[in-house]
Amino acid sequence: MVKASKGLRRRTRQLRKKPRERGLSPITRSLQLFNPGEKASIVIDPSIQKGQPHPRFHGLTGRIIKPQGSAYLLEIKDGNKIKKIIANPEHLRKM
């Protein structure tokens, strides 16, 4: 038997793009700006691996805390815990 992969992108086969959305994302998606306090939804873009949050947070909505370099720090409620996630703007959508 082959040992199961333990990489960061494991079990992300369902994060594929639709056929008409294949290829790189528009540049405006990486240039979008968020202000602290705004709500943003995490939608992982599989064509860009840099700054990609963990796949378990795909589809969740959080609040922008602050910019951190070229990425943003988000606060997400996961069950009863509040977690902080760092994600690039390519993987975020404004709410």
Could you write out the three-class secondary structure of 5-70? CCCCCCCCHHHCCCHHHCCCCCHHHHHCCCCCCCEEEECCCCCCCCCCCCHHHCCCEEEEEEEECC
Largest CA distance in the chain: 49
Among the listed residues 64, 27, 22, the one whose alpha carbon sits nearest the alpha carbon of residue 42: 64
Taking only the tens place, the pLDDT of each residue in 5-61 is 888 777 776 777 889 988 888 999 999 999 999 999 999 998 888 899 998 999 999
Q: Residue 45 belongs to what domain range?
A: 24-94
**Domain presence at residue 42:** yes
What domain count does the chain have? 1
pTM comes to 0.85
38: domain CATH number?
A: 2.30.30.70
Contact 94, 40 (CB under 8 A): yes
